[in-house]
Structure 1
Amino acid sequence: MFAHISKWFQGDVALIQAANPLLVLSVILITGYIFNRLARKLHIPTVTCQILGGVVLGPYVLNLFVQNAYTSFVPITNFALGFIGLTIGSHLDFRKLHNAGRRIAFITLADAIITPVVVFFSLQLFTNVSLEASLLISAIAITTAPSSTLHIVREKRAKGIFTKTLLAVVALNNVITIVVFYTVYYFIYYITSTSHVGIVAIIIKPLLLLVESIIIGSVVGYAVIYFTEKRKTRVSFLVMVMMAVIITVGTAETLHLSGILSSLILGMVISNFSKNKNTLFGAFKDIETEVYTLFFVLAGTHLDFAAIKIAGSIGFVLILSRLFGKTVGSTLGAWLAGSTDTIKKWIGIALYPIAGVAIGLVLLIENNELLSIYSSEITSVVLTAVVVNELLGPILTGKALQKSGEVDKNRLRLMDFIQEEFIKVDMQSDNKWDALAELTEFMYKTHKCHEISLEKLKNSFIEREKQVSTGIGNNLAIPHAIIEGGPKIRCVIGISKKGIKFDAVDDKPVHIIFLIATPKEHYDRQHLQVLSNIAKIFGQHPHIKKQMLKANTPEEVFEILQTEEVEELNPFFED
């Protein structure tokens, strides 16, 4: 025994050679808890500290367990990746993204085009990596780690346009990564195995993989909706969602598809078509800390620092070229989309993390007989990027969220409806009745008012407006109505540059409209405070009205309404 401990001190063997999986699990959770507390004290992202905790457990520091002791947790890791895919997919809510599509598409496409091009030519110009390996590495370089990004967003309690854009871009980024990688994968596979290139097969196979993942995620997603809405099963929502993720990942992995991509589709289906989506996604809150802890500490135990030595300068060429490509690509996309300065400046560094998807694609290359000849070049280089970016990437993502001003904004506040998706900047109506109809339809669509019909909602506003005009002067109108049912106060903001005849108290045309629907049970001091504070915003700060009328996109209006003057009149309920 003493001889064994002596060898352990010298770093020759692991301390525990045959550990029970439950012991390993308990040590992982305790390590995660300790490093979680350490992260708070050091004011660094929890994910970075938990990965460091895994490094401490692993072969380079304490070397507590043999490396294969962690392999029994592969199903848990796959489940965690599925859970992360589900959560990322939940942010692809078309209702919330309906007026952000241009921005998200331009940033995603620019990143997906420029990053691999920069990485490929850098590897070809500055290293001796083969053409085939360079193509595969360049495809892998597109991905941004959804796990690290999501964890940082949750930890920072971030909410706003930047956060919404980041999560949507990361989701689409990983879809594109998988499609591009498989296109390159099959291209190299065919030129290696045959004398001719099957162009149709190269194009069709990646698309078929995407379609199959969509089918799996959609079928399971609609099954969840059916059992929670039609059959109203008594199974708890937590169990239902866990079953959905397990079935989705298990089916996808069995068919050699991407579990995280199928889970992403599952999350997207639930987010867009389930009436119980908030309850379903909220069900995971009780266990998400443990899931993240297991995932990131385990990731730390697998980090191979020897890869940095093997890869040498090639690994750092990948890191620097990818960093440059991500920064230039996403910034260019934001510029082409006419995004705000905040997004242009900070979206690039928020996309640096790289981890799970990249490792999965590397393993795919290693397991292919024909492509495994390139794995010696690829594995060490990609793992070098993973090691560096998993430790530094979350810090940079956290920095970007901090600079965007959206940290600690994911809390309930008085006017929680001030969000990009509820803003309409191109109103076409000429009179108040048409304006009420136009904005009511916009509210019904964006807020998904299931508890009331569109006709009843319109009539509520019309009846209230007939009593007395809600055009309060200063080019502002606040039409409001009390409705039956509904979870909270709802509001949409409409802007008309030409002005609308609204019978306002000062007879001036209305340019800005806040249309508010309040459920009866919320008609109390909160309703009156909302009306009062909206009037104060424009009465005390006339420059805000001028800025809003100059804005061309909902994104710009949202940025204007995040200024300090508005923030003071839109308090958080926790404060």
Structure 2
Amino acid sequence: MTIYDQALGLAILLLAGYLGGRVAKKINMPMVAGYVIAGLLLGPSILNVIPEQLNTEFNLIKVLGLGIIALVIGGELEIEKIKSLGKDIFVITVVKVLATFVIVFFAMRYLLNLSLPISLLLGATSTASAPGSPMAIIREYRAKGPFTTTLLGVVATTDAVCIFLFVFVSAFARMIMDGLVTFSPGMFLEAGVELLGSFGVGIITALLLAVLFKYITDKQHRIAILVGIALLNSGVANMLHFSPVLTNMTAGFVFTNVSHRPQSITVLNEIEFPIYVVFFALAGASLHLDILLNNWWAALVYIVARGIGKVGGAFMGARLSGAPEKVQKYLGFSMFSKAGLTIGLVLIIQGRFPEIALIITAIELAAVTVSEALLGPLGTKYALISSGETQHAQAKI
């Protein structure tokens, strides 16, 4: 495949994704849903204009898109904004993650009669979130306020809790399959190293960014440096087996609060739109309708159980923390998206659990298809509009 084939494929994705977003907006859907559906139509599941091989050639764009999204989310979390919401964010995240894990585990184990290790692993992967879709919809509807800040905080912390839970659960599942019954401190050590390593790399690059921005004031130069930092964080984190998403979120958060210049990261707004369009169109082109159709019953049970866990867990956590009524009622509906971290966890499962990876991969990819194309964007739009924090003139349910 030549570089001109790649250029043509990228052009088709960008233009078709943009048109898909415009059509979605016309029928009162979030534009991000249009990007994803356009990619799905172009992908191997339907028209095959963007075949699997070409999709793989664009992995760098996926890394860049997710890195920028994570960096921007971290940059939105100013301590002055979230200090009154810190307890709410922590309690909601922990309760939501645990509720989702428990409900999905029991649904897989007792409704679908799957094995204990498979049920445990699906329960753990179900807790993952995807920051891209909520961030894009917040941008589209210009949402701002305590609900939006809480949403961003919960999205940012969910992946950290999910990673810790997954490392522990996957070690336990491996012990069950190997016939072992003893716990090892290594379970906690592995999770701790990944989280602390991600935080550490993010802090270092944030401090580097703060120093650079003292001397560099040109907006275009700052954009170039921020893009470089997003890629640097992603590359170093992946090389060290840390989380690229957590690393970039940490960098954005620390930089914003150390430099006291949150507007510095917002300069990425000038270039993020085409990156978002291609990123979500590529996500759509990666989805597999055949897997969804072949595993529709298991996927349906999984999606419903996960939805109950997300909505119910967010409600219980918000109630326990004394969060505002709007957060209690609507936050869970903005938590349906799943993509990047989920795919990463599935790849880990394929390496560590080859004997049971096939069914887990099928269910997860089917759930990702539905969540990214429909449930995630529509749920987030509903939550933001219901919270009353959207600024978009055409924002309506």
- What range describes the TM-score normalised by the shorter chain of this pair? over 0.9
**Counterpart-to-counterpart distance in 2, 1:326 and 1:373:** 29
Distance in 2 (alpha carbons) for counterparts of 1:32 and 1:146:
19
Quote the offset at 1:46 in angstroms. Answer: 0.7
Deviation for aligned residue 1:61: 2.7
CA distance in 2, matches of 1:194, 1:273: 49
Cα offset for 1:114? 0.8
Other-structure match for 1:259: 244
Q: 1:409 to 1:294 in 2, by over 3 A?
A: closer
Is 1:140 equivalent to 2:120 in the alignment? no
Instruction: Write the deviation string for residues 50-71 of structure 1: whole angstroms up to 9, x where unpaired.
Output: 1000011112332214320111
Query: Once the 2 structures are TM-superposed, how far is the Cα of residue 294 of structure 1 from its aligned partner?
Result: 1.1
Number of the residue aligned with 1:405: 388
Distance 1:409 1:272 in 2: 28
1:170 and 2:155 are equivalent in the alignment: yes
Question: How far 1:178 sits from its partner (Å)?
Answer: 1.4
**Any conservation in 1 of the 2:295–2:366 contact (CA below 8 Å)?**
yes
Distance in 2 between the 1:186 and 1:91 partners?
Answer: 34
Instruction: Work out the CA distance in 2 between the residues paired with 1:208 and 1:75.
Output: 26
- Residues in 1 aligned to 2:10 and 2:102: alpha-carbon distance in whole angstroms: 42
Larger CA deviation: 178-187 vs 248-257: 178-187
Aligned partner (choices 313, 316, 319) of residue 332 of structure 1: 316
Larger radius of gyration: 1
Q: 380-389 or 293-302: which moved more?
A: 380-389
Counterpart for residue 393 of structure 1: 376
> 1:185: Cα distance to partner?
2.2
Give matches, 1:357-368, under 5 Å: 357-366=341-350, 368=351
Q: Match for 2:27 among 19, 30, 42?
A: 42
The residue number in structure 2 matching 1:246 is 231
Q: Which moved more, 1:338-347 or 1:184-193?
A: 184-193
1:58–1:301 Cα contact (<8 Å) kept:
yes
Q: Distance in 1 between matches of 2:308 and 2:260?
A: 42
Q: Which amino acid aligns with 1:115?
A: T
Q: Is 1:204 aligned to 2:162, yes or no? A: no
Q: Which residue of 2 aligns with 1:483?
A: none
CA distance in 2, matches of 1:343, 1:389: 21
- 1:441-476 Cα shifts (integer Å, max 9, x gaps): xxxxxxxxxxxxxxxxxxxxxxxxxxxxxxxxxxxx
Q: 1:334 to 1:275 in 2, by over 3 A?
A: closer
Moved more, 188-197 or 346-355: 188-197
Q: In 1, are the aligned partners of 2:35 and 2:277 still within 8 Å (CA)?
A: yes
Q: CA distance change for structure 1 residues 259 and 400 in 2, over 3 Å: closer, same or farther?
A: same
For the Cα contact (< 8 Å) 1:354–1:386, is it kept in 2? yes
Q: 2:340 aligns with which of 338, 356, 363?
A: 356
Tell me if 1:375 matches 2:357.
yes
1:347, 1:264 → 2: CA distance?
20
Q: Conserved in 1, the CA contact under 8 Å of 2:78 and 2:262?
A: no
Q: State the match for 2:204 in structure 1.
A: 219
**Separation of aligned partners in 1, 2:3 and 2:250:** 39
- Which one has the bigger helix percentage? 2
Letter in 2 for 1:239: A
Work out the CA distance in 1 between the residues paired with 2:179 and 2:203: 36
Which amino acid is the alignment partner of residue 195 of structure 2?
Answer: L
- For 2:48 and 2:3, locate their aligned partners in 1 and report how far apart those are by CA, in whole Å: 13
Q: 1:116 touches 1:142 (CA, 8 Å); kept in 2?
A: yes
Match of 2:70 in 1: 85
Check 1:54–1:179 CA distance in 2 against 1; reply closer, same or farther (3 A cut). same
Partner SS for 1:63: coil
Query: TM-score normalised to the size of structure 2?
Result: 0.93
Q: Which residue of 2 aligns with 1:284?
A: 268
Please list every run of 5 or more consecutive structure 2 residues that lacks an aligned counterpart in the other structure.
Answer: none
Q: Is the 8 A contact 1:19 1:69 kept in 2?
A: no
What amino acid does structure 2 have at the position aligned with 1:150?
M
RMSD, matched Cα: 2.0
Deviations 1:505-547 (A, max 9, x none): xxxxxxxxxxxxxxxxxxxxxxxxxxxxxxxxxxxxxxxxxxx
Aligned partner letter, 1:353 = S
Structure 1 SS opposite 2:101 = helix
CA distance in 1, matches of 2:392, 2:19: 27
Measure how far apart 1:372 and its partner are.
Answer: 1.8
Q: Name 2:105's counterpart in structure 1.
A: 120
Written as runs of structure 1 = structure 2, the 5 A alignment for 1:412-491 is none
Shift of residue 354, structure 1, vs aligned partner: 1.6
Q: Give the structure, 1 or 2, with the largest relative contact order (CA under 8 Å, sep 6 or more).
A: 2
| 294, 302, 305: which one aligns with 1:321 | 305
Q: Percent identity?
A: 32
How many angstroms does 1:108 deviate by? 1.1
CA distance in structure 2 between the partners assigned to 1:18 and 1:129 by the alignment: 45
**Kept after mapping to 1: 8 A contact 2:129/2:335:** yes
Q: Which has the higher strand share?
A: 1
| Paired amino acid for 2:273 | T
Measure the CA separation in 2 of the matches of 1:308 and 1:232.
49
Whole-Å Cα distance in 1 between the matches of residues 279 and 150 of structure 2? 25
Q: Which amino acid aligns with 2:358?
A: S
Amino acid at match of 1:323: G
Q: What is the CA-CA distance between 1:152 and the residue it aligns to?
A: 0.8
CA change 1:37–1:257 in 2 (3 A) is: same
Amino acid at match of 2:309: G
For residues 242 and 87 of structure 2, the distance between their equivalents in structure 1, rounded to whole angstroms, comes to 29
* Other-structure match for 1:159: 144
Task: Classify the secondary structure of the residue corresponding to 1:307.
Answer: helix
Query: 1:17–1:65: 8 Å Cα contact kept in structure 2?
Result: no
Q: Matches of 1:92 and 1:182 in 2, distance apart?
A: 27
Q: Counterpart of 2:211 in 1: which secondary structure?
A: helix
Distance in 2, Cα, partners of 1:18 & 1:228? 35
1:274 aligns with 2:256: no
Shift, 1:187, TM fit: 3.0
Partners in 2 of 1:124 and 1:134 — Cα distance? 6
One-letter code of the match for 1:67?
Answer: E
Amino acid at match of 2:48: N
Match of 1:535 in 2: none
Equivalence for 1:472: none
3-state SS of 1:373 partner: coil
- Change in Cα spacing, 1:197 to 1:76, as seen in structure 2 (3 Å) is farther
Partner of 2:17: 32
> Is the aligned partner of 1:342 residue 2:334?
no
Secondary structure at the counterpart of residue 364 of structure 1: helix
